[in-house]
């Protein structure tokens, strides 16, 4: 079997640079799995006149967070070395200093006041070969203009670095919507958080039950279930306008929405015809198609990225398992066979995997759509549920009670690196990873 998941080579261990230069192109061997991560130094940004030192430091810390999250990099503690690096410029990085500090790569950035906001510039260096590393597209650095918050520039550069080393942009700058239940209550509101854990914001505040958010592909809408009209109904929230419309308030349950990849329809489970069946709805709430017709519970549709296949949960064999069907509801096949209780399928944006939660062992698993390959991506700590993919298809966010209450965690499916995203009092459940909003 080919190694499906590539990470950077263990070249570091051999005393060679992980990054080598071809003619004028960086070539990185990402086809050899390793547990070794690339060590990188991310010192405080060089601050121009009038820029608060705290902002420069925070920007570096945020970039370090992103790189550590990636599973590809491990940042060194720059504090002991920074005094000696004073006077460093983008054109004269202190290669030897950072190499001595244990970093084979260095990210140097500057931040200057520009208008009401900031201008930032970043470069990536190879401390072993003592060279600036060419970025995708051939540039040696990236410049950004931002408002009062430098974070979008930091995340954009983190994605550039990810694209360089994995050929896919990273997940940085994205947001995650989720259900939040405060301690000792039975009500839930929907909240949103930046991947780095900042920017916690409530999206609903009606003191009811608001459940199961799903993003539209353009990131402008959220479909979700709410009991605010005393029944589990589907609503469509317009995030830019802050408005809300009923999507389906049919008798019985209206739950588990997911957008089609083209954003033109929502598939959801409705029970108005007797028991939970999967339907395709237009965005103004009309039934476009009924996709299942079965005495069993049929729920949790999720589309393949080409929109041609749907994975869903059904208990038609007596207990819940993940099944596949064609877009029109035909050609139903069972996908999961391990244990007695497999649910919450999520089709990856790359199309290669379907993540799901196994109740038997409390883990998140990924399985190929042909069912031939399957891997566990959590290690059995606590109960792990509700997987949702990052837009680049490399990470899975999920809820886990490994620390006592349910929080959101994310796993790199390649290296297995797990990072905590939220740590609120009470329970954070059913994360939905949003699309990019910074291009």
Partner 1 sequence: MTRVAKLGFVLIVGAVMLACASAPVDEIAQAENALRAARDSGARDCAPRSFRSAEEMMARAYRLSDEKEYDEAKKTAETTRELAEVAKNESDKARAAGRCKPAEVTDSVEDDAAASGDGARLGGATLSEADVREEIARIQTGEGSLGEGTRVTALKPVYFNFDDSGVSGEALQTIQENAEWLEQRPTVKVQVEGHTDERGTAEYNLALGERRAKAVRDALTRLGIAVDRISVISYGEEAPANLGTGEASWKENRRAEFVIQ
Q: Give the footprint of partner 1 on this chain (CB under 8 A).
A: 184, 186, 188, 208-209, 211-212, 227, 230-232, 252-253, 255-256, 269, 271, 275-276, 297, 299-300, 313, 315, 319-320, 341, 343-344, 357, 359, 385-386, 429-430
**CB of 59: closest distance to partner 1 in angstroms?**
38
**CB of 299: closest distance to partner 1 in angstroms?**
5
**Cα(413)–Cα(393) distance, rounded to whole angstroms?**
9
Q: With respect to partner 1, which residue has the nearer C-beta, 108 or 429? A: 429
The dihedral through the CA atoms of 205, 208, 213, 218 has a sign that is negative
**CB of 228: closest distance to partner 1 in angstroms?**
9
Residue holding tokens 């590539």? 6
Q: With respect to partner 1, which residue has the nearer C-beta, 145 or 206? A: 206
**CB of 348: closest distance to partner 1 in angstroms?**
19
Q: With respect to partner 1, which residue has the nearer C-beta, 252 or 261? A: 252
Q: With respect to partner 1, which residue has the nearer C-beta, 96 or 340? A: 340
Q: With respect to partner 1, which residue has the nearer C-beta, 341 or 437? A: 341
> Which pair of structure tokens corresponds to residue 217?
């592909």
**Cα(45)–Cα(61) distance, rounded to whole angstroms?**
10
Q: With respect to partner 1, which residue has the nearer C-beta, 352 or 359? A: 359
Instruction: Give the 3-state secondary structure of residue 74.
Output: strand
**Cα(20)–Cα(25) distance, rounded to whole angstroms?**
9
**Which residues does 411 contact at the CB level (< 8 Å), separation at least 6?**
364, 377, 378, 395, 396, 398, 417, 418, 419
Instruction: Give the 3-state secondary structure of residue 65.
Output: helix
Q: With respect to partner 1, which residue has the nearer C-beta, 142 or 181? A: 181
> Which pair of structure tokens corresponds to residue 204?
């609903």
**CB of 394: closest distance to partner 1 in angstroms?**
24
CB 360 within 8 A of CB 379: no
Q: With respect to partner 1, which residue has the nearer C-beta, 126 or 385? A: 385
CB 120 within 8 A of CB 103: no
434, exposed or middle or buried, with CB in 10 Å at 0-12, 13-18, 19+? Answer: buried
CB 347 within 8 A of CB 377: no
CA nearest 192: which of 362, 393, 383, 437? 437
CA nearest 301: which of 283, 317, 279? 279
Q: With respect to partner 1, which residue has the nearer C-beta, 148 or 184? A: 184
Torsion of CA 342, 346, 348, 351, to 10 degrees: 70
DSSP label at 174?
-
**CB of 411: closest distance to partner 1 in angstroms?**
18
CA nearest 178: which of 154, 159, 197? 197
Q: With respect to partner 1, which residue has the nearer C-beta, 51 or 408? A: 408
**CB of 42: closest distance to partner 1 in angstroms?**
39
**CB of 274: closest distance to partner 1 in angstroms?**
9
**CB of 336: closest distance to partner 1 in angstroms?**
13
**CB of 426: closest distance to partner 1 in angstroms?**
11
C-alpha distance from residue 220 to each of 94, 241, 434 (Å)? 44, 9, 10
2, exposed or middle or buried, with CB in 10 Å at 0-12, 13-18, 19+? Answer: exposed
């Amino acid at each position: 079997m080919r190694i499906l998941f590539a990470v950077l080579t263990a070249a570091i261990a051999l005393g060679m640079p992980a990054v080598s230069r071809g003619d004028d192109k960086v070539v990185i061997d990402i086809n050899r799995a390793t547990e070794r991560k690339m060590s990188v130094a991310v010192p405080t940004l060089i601050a121009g006149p009038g820029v608060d030192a705290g902002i420069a430091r925070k920007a570096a810390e945020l970039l370090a967070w992103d790189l550590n999250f990636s599973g590809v990099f491990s940042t060194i503690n720059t504090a002991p070395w920074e005094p000696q690096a004073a006077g460093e410029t983008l054109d004269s990085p202190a290669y030897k200093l950072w190499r001595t500090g244990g970093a084979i790569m260095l990210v140097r950035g500057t931040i200057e006041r520009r208008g009401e906001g900031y201008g930032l510039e970043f470069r990536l260096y190879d401390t072993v070969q003592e060279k600036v590393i060419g970025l995708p597209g051939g540039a040696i650095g990236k410049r950004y203009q931002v408002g009062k918050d430098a974070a979008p520039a930091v995340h954009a550069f983190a994605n550039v670095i990810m694209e360089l080393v994995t050929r896919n942009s990273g997940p940085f700058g994205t947001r995650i919507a989720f259900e939040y239940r405060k301690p000792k209550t039975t009500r839930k509101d929907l909240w949103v958080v930046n991947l780095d854990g900042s920017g916690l914001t409530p999206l609903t505040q009606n003191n009811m039950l608001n459940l199961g958010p799903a993003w539209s592909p353009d990131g402008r809408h959220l479909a979700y279930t709410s009991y605010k009209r005393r029944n589990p109904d589907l609503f469509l929230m317009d995030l830019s306008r802050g408005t809300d419309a009923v999507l389906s308030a049919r008798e019985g349950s209206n739950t588990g929405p997911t957008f089609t990849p083209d954003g033109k329809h929502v598939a959801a489970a409705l029970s108005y015809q007797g028991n939970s069946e999967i339907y395709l709805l237009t965005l103004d709430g009309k039934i476009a198609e009924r996709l299942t017709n079965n005495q069993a519970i049929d729920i949790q549709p999720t589309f393949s990225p080409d929109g041609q296949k749907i994975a869903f949960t059904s208990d038609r064999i007596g207990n819940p398992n993940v099944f596949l069907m064609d877009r029109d509801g035909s050609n139903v096949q069972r996908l999961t066979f391990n244990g007695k209780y497999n649910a919450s399928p999520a089709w990856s944006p790359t199309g290669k995997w379907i993540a799901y939660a196994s109740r038997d062992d409390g883990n998140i698993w990924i399985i190929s759509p042909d069912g031939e390959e399957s891997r566990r991506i959590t290690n059995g700590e606590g109960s792990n549920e509700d997987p949702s993919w990052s837009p680049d298809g490399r990470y899975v966010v999920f809820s886990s009670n490994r620390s006592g209450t349910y929080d959101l965690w994310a796993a790199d499916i390649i290296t297995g690196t797990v990072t905590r995203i939220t740590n609120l009092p009470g329970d954070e459940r059913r994360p939905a990873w949003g699309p990019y909003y910074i291009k």
